């Protein structure tokens, strides 16, 4: 600690980068609801106010700033007004930009960071990736994030359009003796990202000089939600220090150490509840990230403008004897029980009012009841009529969940141990999969010999279903079948197969002759149809169900704590500390040709690039007639530390 503390025992604010971190703002969510329509805008304004009050150097957003990729004009107008109010001004920018801006901001009008644009007057620069809700798609691949970038309000980075490989180059910033490498990876489908990782086609470029603190912001599933439907933390490179994880809505902003890779993960969560799930009922926060050389700390900032939300889940089997549900009118008894619980939850919600002037007063209430018999269920919509004016969501306060009694035993009738129960649960979850591609994948994996494919690859059939369901890609079937037809004919000619018998025998080795056939199919589809992994704004988003609980990782957070870092003194008038463009520490600091190496607190190998993270014409209707049968880093590094600030608050 001695090397980062000044002679007075305080950390020099001129060497500390302060960033306001938030994610999943979802501007415009439920905007037509007369009660809840303003919630997302009120919460976002509070986030911007915290950025001003804490005199931060920048704001970092983890995706899903908007709820849809093409928001209404009302939502865009309100967003522009908020950004114009809080991020424009004469406050000096103390971040020196070191990397090639032409590579960092490919979609920007001037291809430069906005605070170096002579036409903009930025006081707080905003850096943001896009999420699955504000992903670019459609004609021109333009979304709301592109509009913000074009207008100069947001530095939009981390967008990737080459679906065959990913090369992530960091934004390099410096303030005093602290250097920051900021990596961004906007949303792409988890299945595609996992495929790129498996094929080692994702690269993250490390800075040429040592001493950078490495932060990555991304927007993917963190909790496992099916085969290759999430991004494992362990697949990310070890040289990272901190990961800001967007997309997950439950707040876990206190940094959690990954036991394998030794980096930390901070999950800010959403600022507004977009589903009535248990994870959404947790305290909403943004965070103040302070970085000093190789150390950091994350200070959670609870949001006071969030609508009170009380969630409760009760399995009626636990109160069956108490309520005597086996006799009399079980439905009425359950309804009376729900009434008592709702009243108690409303009382709890009132206790969550904090006196903040703009905090919405009507609470969100969700009571989830696990049924053992269908006769216990009552009409939830009719039940909610009596709560109009008392809660914000009277129509869906009560949710029923049918919970059949399942006894998991082995062949001998003995109860299974914990590991066996978990395996049984995974099998049941896979059997309940409702996604079309998962059903197709399971069908071909479990198909008998007579039903297996001979020419087509089952994985290609799975990809075909995914494209037709998710992207309405009606041409995918014709392209896939035509591709396999051409490949099969080429293969048969090489085998000199002319008779029907010899053709059948030769086709047995068709896939074995080229194990990379499926990867070639994916490359062909991406090259010809230019189908991007984006979410169609006109179709229903595939998010968590209203009542799907968030998956929490175990493990304590080893975080050094003390008082917050001293606020850096505000700079002089515009043109003073901000200085002429190109001066060190000034507004227009350009990429330095050579920099003084700050003393690094973490020794790391400096590999330049770290590898991280494949007969007849057919048409759409010919899939079913296809013949059957088929055959189908790094150097160990030191552990990340969190900053222990010993300075006094101003």
Give catalytic residue positions: 133
Q: Among 542, 499, 497, which residue's Cα sits nearest to residue 131?
A: 542
Contact between 632 and 460 (Cβ < 8 Å): no
Kindly tell me the burial class for residue 67, based on how many C-beta atoms sit within 10 Å of its own C-beta (0-12, 13-18, 19 or more): buried
CA distances from 497 to 8, 219, 350, 387, 481 (A): 86, 50, 79, 75, 21
Q: Which residue has the tokens 């988890």?
A: 190
H-only helix segments in 144-262: 144-150, 190-198
Residue 351 CA to residue 361 CA, distance in Å, equals 11
Contacts of 391 (CB under 8 A, 6+ apart): 346, 362, 363, 364, 365, 397
CA 318 centroid distance within chain: 36
End-to-end CA gap in the chain: 21
Contact between 116 and 579 (Cβ < 8 Å): no
Q: Among 262, 263, 244, which residue's Cα sits nearest to residue 253?
A: 244
Residue 486 CA to residue 490 CA, distance in Å, equals 6
Q: Among 589, 609, 600, which residue's Cα sits nearest to residue 638?
A: 600
Q: Can you give the length of the chain in residues?
A: 650
CB atoms within 10 A of CB 389: 8
Tokens read off for 495: 């085998």
Residue 394 CA to residue 392 CA, distance in Å, equals 6
- Count of alpha carbons within 13 angstroms of residue 461, beta-carbon side: 21
């Amino acid at each position: 600690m001695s090397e980062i503390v000044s002679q007075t025992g305080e950390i020099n604010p001129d060497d500390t980068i302060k960033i306001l971190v938030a994610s999943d703002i979802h501007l415009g969510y439920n905007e037509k609801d007369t009660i809840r329509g303003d919630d997302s805008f009120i919460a976002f304004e509070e986030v911007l106010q915290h950025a001003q009050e804490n005199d931060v150097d920048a704001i970092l957003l983890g995706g899903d700033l908007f709820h849809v990729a093409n928001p209404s004009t009302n939502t865009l107008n309100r967003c522009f007004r908020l950004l114009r109010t809080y991020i424009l001004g004469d406050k000096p920018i103390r971040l020196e930009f070191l990397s090639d801006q032409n590579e960092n901001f490919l979609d920007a009008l001037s291809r430069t960071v906005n605070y170096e644009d002579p036409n903009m007057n930025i006081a707080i620069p905003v850096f943001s990736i896009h999420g699955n809700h504000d992903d670019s798609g459609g004609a021109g691949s333009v979304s709301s994030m592109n509009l913000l970038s074009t207008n100069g309000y947001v530095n939009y980075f981390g967008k990737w359009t080459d679906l065959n490989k990913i090369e992530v180059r960091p934004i390099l910033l410096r303030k005093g003796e602290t250097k920051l490498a900021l990596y961004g990876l906007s949303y792409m489908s988890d299945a595609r990202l996992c495929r790129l990782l498996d094929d080692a086609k994702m690269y993250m470029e490390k800075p040429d000089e040592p001493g950078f603190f490495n932060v990555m912001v991304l927007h993917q599933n963190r909790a496992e939600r099916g085969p290759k439907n999430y991004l494992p933390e362990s697949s990310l490179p070890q040289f990272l220090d901190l990961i800001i994880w967007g997309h997950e809505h439950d707040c876990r902003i206190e940094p959690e150490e990954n036991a394998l890779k030794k980096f930390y993960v901070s999950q800010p969560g959403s600022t507004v509840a977009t589903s009535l799930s248990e994870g959404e009922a947790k305290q909403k926060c943004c965070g103040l990230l302070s970085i000093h050389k190789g150390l950091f700390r994350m200070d959670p900032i609870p949001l006071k403008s969030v609508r009170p939300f009380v969630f409760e889940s009760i399995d009626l089997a636990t109160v069956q004897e108490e309520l005597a549900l086996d006799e009399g009118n079980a439905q009425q008894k359950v309804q009376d029980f729900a009434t008592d619980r709702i009243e108690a939850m409303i009382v709890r919600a009132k206790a969550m009012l904090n006196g903040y002037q703009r905090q919405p007063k009507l609470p969100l209430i969700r009571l989830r009841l696990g049924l053992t018999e269908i006769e216990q269920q009552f009409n939830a919509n009719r039940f909610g009529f009596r709560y109009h004016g008392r809660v914000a969501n009277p129509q869906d306060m009560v949710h029923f969940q049918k919970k059949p009694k399942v006894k998991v035993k082995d062949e001998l009738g003995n109860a299974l141990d914990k590991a066996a129960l978990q395996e049984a649960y995974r099998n049941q979850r896979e059997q309940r999969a409702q996604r079309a591609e998962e059903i197709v994948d399971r069908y071909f994996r479990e198909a008998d010999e007579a039903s297996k494919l001979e020419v087509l690859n089952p994985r290609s059939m799975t990809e075909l279903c995914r494209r037709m369901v998710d992207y309405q890609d009606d041409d995918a079937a014709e392209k896939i079948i035509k591709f396999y037809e051409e490949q099969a004919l080429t293969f048969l000619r090489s085998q000199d197969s002319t008779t029907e018998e010899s053709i059948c025998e030769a086709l047995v080795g068709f896939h074995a002759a080229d194990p990379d056939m499926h990867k070639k199919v994916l490359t062909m589809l991406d090259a010809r149809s230019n189908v991007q992994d984006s979410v169609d704004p006109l179709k229903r988003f595939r998010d968590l169900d209203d009542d799907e609980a968030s998956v929490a990782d175990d493990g304590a957070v080893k975080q050094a704590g003390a008082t917050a870092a001293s606020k850096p003194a505000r700079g002089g008038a515009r043109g003073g500390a901000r200085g002429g463009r190109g001066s060190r520490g000034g507004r227009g600091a350009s990429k330095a040709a050579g920099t003084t190496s700050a003393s690094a607190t973490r020794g790391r190998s400096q590999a330049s690039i770290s590898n991280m993270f494949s007969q007849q014409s057919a048409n759409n209707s010919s899939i079913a007639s296809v013949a059957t049968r088929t055959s189908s880093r790094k150097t160990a590094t030191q552990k990340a530390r969190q900053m222990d600030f010993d300075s006094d608050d101003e």
